[in-house]
């Protein structure tokens, strides 16, 4: 669950995507584990280790580290529909970082979305999800961040347009879109299911990408996990509630777990922002936590229809013409890896036949893959992933539209034709 790429006032910090571990909780419940209070050097070392795991689970490094920069020193620009936001320094530097923050200050930021001095934080920081994180887990993350190397780098001011640069406006936003409160286990569900729900809805903040946002930057909770286009990034985070998209109800737990942990499975592979989530975060999670997340994701209620998306339409006659042109291009350029029957050679060359990701109502992702290519993430379990070459330099807009149309309609796939105009709009989209 870059995932993190979040892009509106409510979604400027991550992606997906995603994140999770035998975490330090404060209760006696099995999913909550032990105490957050360290009484000895050994206890403190264990607390820091737990905190490192949890920081991985929350994919903190993705937003708070500039590529090639010092870890957690901030400064990453995040484009939003309201202007550019810059992530803060969260190293223990006393002047520019969180060196003077107490664990209470840190928990308040995580739980209530307020800074050290009580100021309202912009929801690019996903406190709407992090509010579910327990105090014990917050203390563990705090202990870890206090242990990293301090960096004397000042945080850069956001560059938001008026009136979005007025923090007092956040009072109304919070009234509409923020509900404070730690995760409460569902007593009718298993310990494993509750663990997965805690990770997916809390630190993993998966809903920030997989739930559409409105004009005010608030998540549409009536369509939670129903997918949506990531603003300015032009990647589509598929619905987890529809079997026509990324609904996982008919997936084996092993295939879901493989996809989360390694980026590839017998059912497909991840690319784009989700690839970064797997690379930075999910591959480091324990098998038990990955299975817990998979268990929860598999039970998200499935809906018969995918959500509405804006899609340029072609006439039936032109769609047929594109299909025939695309068939020839596919056999010449794609069949060697994905097979003439579209079944591919998984997990390295994913199947395209009966693949929800190529036949969703939104064709954004397959268009971008043909144009820009890409790789699944390099993970411990799959260190040298097979990649997809880019075709933007060698195919016209109509040729890309043709081959994507073929992928979406061949072998019994239920997609619709793709417009060359849509390909043209995505040709200049940012690569990450």
How confident is residue 8, by pLDDT bands cut at 50, 70 and 90?
very low
pLDDT at 75: 93
Is 60 annotated as belonging to a binding site? Answer: yes
**Residue 23 pLDDT more than 60?**
no
DSSP category for residue 166: -
Closest CA relative to residue 3, chosen from 270, 240, 268, 251: 270
Q: Do 295 and 323 share a domain, yes or no? A: no
Report the distance separating Cα 252 and Cα 250, nearest Å. Answer: 7
Q: Is 256 a member of any domain?
A: yes
pLDDT at residue 151, as a whole number: 97
Average pLDDT score over residue span 124-137 = 95
For the chain, how many structural domains are there in total? 3
Query: What is the C-alpha separation between 149 and 297, in angstroms, rounded?
Result: 36
Q: Are 310 and 281 in contact (CB under 8 A)?
A: no
Percent of the chain with pLDDT over 90: 53
* Residue 217 belongs to some domain of the structure: yes
The pLDDT tens digits for 146-193 are 999 999 999 999 999 898 889 988 998 899 889 999 999 999 999 999
CA atoms within 13 A on the CB side of 67: 4
Same domain, yes or no: 325 and 414: yes
Judge whether 210 is annotated as a binding position. Answer: yes
32 annotated to bind ligand: no
Q: State residue 25's pLDDT score.
A: 33
Q: What is the mean pLDDT of residues 218-232?
A: 74
The span from the CA of 416 to the CA of 432, in Å, is 26
| Distances in whole angstroms, Cα of residue 124 to Cα of each of 51, 142, 300, 347 | 22, 19, 25, 35
Question: Domain holding 216: CATH number?
Answer: 1.10.760
> Omega into 293 within 30° of 0, i.e. cis?
no
Average pLDDT over residues 80-88: 89
Bond into 347 cis (ω within 30): yes
- Full residue range of the structural domain in which residue 208 is found: 191-299
More confident residue, 136 or 355: 136
Q: Are residues 153 and 52 in the same domain?
A: yes
Q: What is the pLDDT of residues 299-326, one digit of tens each?
A: 987 665 545 555 566 778 888 999 999 9
Residue 21 reports pLDDT greater than 70: no
Instruction: Confirm whether pTM is higher than 0.75.
Output: no
Q: Which of 342-346, 354-358, 405-409 has the lowest mean pLDDT?
A: 354-358
206 is in an annotated binding site: yes
Is the per-residue pLDDT at 39 higher than 90?
Answer: no
Q: Is 279 annotated as a binding residue?
A: no
> For residue 17, what pLDDT band results from cuts at 50, 70 and 90?
very low
One domain, residues 249 and 353? no
Q: How far apart are CA 165 and CA 170, in angstroms?
A: 10
């Amino acid at each position: 669950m870059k995932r993190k790429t979040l892009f509106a006032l409510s979604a400027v910090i991550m992606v997906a995507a995603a994140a999770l571990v035998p975490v330090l909780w404060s209760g006696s419940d099995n999913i909550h584990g032990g105490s957050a209070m360290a009484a000895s050097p050994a206890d403190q070392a264990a607390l820091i280790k737990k905190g490192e795991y949890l920081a991985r689970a929350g994919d903190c490094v993705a937003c708070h580290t500039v590529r090639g920069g010092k870890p957690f020193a901030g400064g990453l620009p995040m484009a939003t529909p309201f202007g550019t936001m810059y992530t803060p320094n969260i190293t223990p530097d006393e002047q520019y970082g969180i060196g003077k923050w107490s664990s209470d200050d840190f928990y308040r930021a995580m739980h209530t979305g307020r800074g050290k001095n009580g100021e309202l934080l912009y929801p690019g920081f996903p406190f709407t999800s992090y509010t579910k994180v327990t105090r014990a887990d917050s203390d563990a993350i705090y202990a870890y961040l206090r242990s990293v190397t301090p960096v004397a780098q000042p945080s850069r001011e956001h560059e938001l347009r008026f009136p979005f640069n007025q923090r007092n406006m956040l009072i109304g936003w919070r009234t509409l879109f923020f509900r404070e409160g730690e995760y409460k286990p569902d007593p009718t569900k298993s310990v494993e299911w509750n663990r997965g729900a805690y990770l997916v809805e809390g630190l993993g903040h998966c809903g920030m990408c997989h739930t559409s946002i409105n004009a005010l930057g608030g998540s549409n909770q009536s369509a939670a996990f129903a997918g949506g286009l990531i603003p300015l990034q032009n990647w589509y985070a598929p619905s987890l509630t529809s079997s026509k998209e990324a609904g996982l109800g008919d997936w084996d737990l092993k295939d879901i777990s493989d996809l989360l942990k390694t980026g590839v499975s017998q059912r497909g592979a991840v690319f784009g922002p989700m690839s970064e989530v797997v690379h930075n975060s999910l591959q480091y999670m324990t098998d038990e936590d990955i299975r817990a997340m998979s268990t929860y994701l598999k039970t998200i209620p499935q809906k018969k229809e995918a959500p509405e998306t804006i899609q340029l339409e072609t006439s039936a006659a032109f769609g047929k013409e594109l299909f025939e042109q695309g068939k020839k291009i596919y056999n010449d350029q794609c069949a060697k890896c994905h097979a003439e029957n579209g079944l591919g050679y998984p997990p390295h060359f994913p199947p395209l036949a009966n693949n929800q990701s190529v036949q969703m109502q939104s064709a954004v992702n397959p268009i971008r893959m043909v144009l820009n290519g890409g790789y699944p993430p390099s993970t411990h379990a799959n260190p040298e992933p097979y990649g997809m070459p880019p075709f933007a330099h060698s195919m016209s807009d109509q040729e890309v539209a043709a081959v994507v149309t073929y992928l979406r309609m061949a072998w019994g796939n239920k997609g619709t034709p793709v417009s060359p105009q849509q390909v043209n709009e995505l040709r200049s989209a940012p690569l990450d």
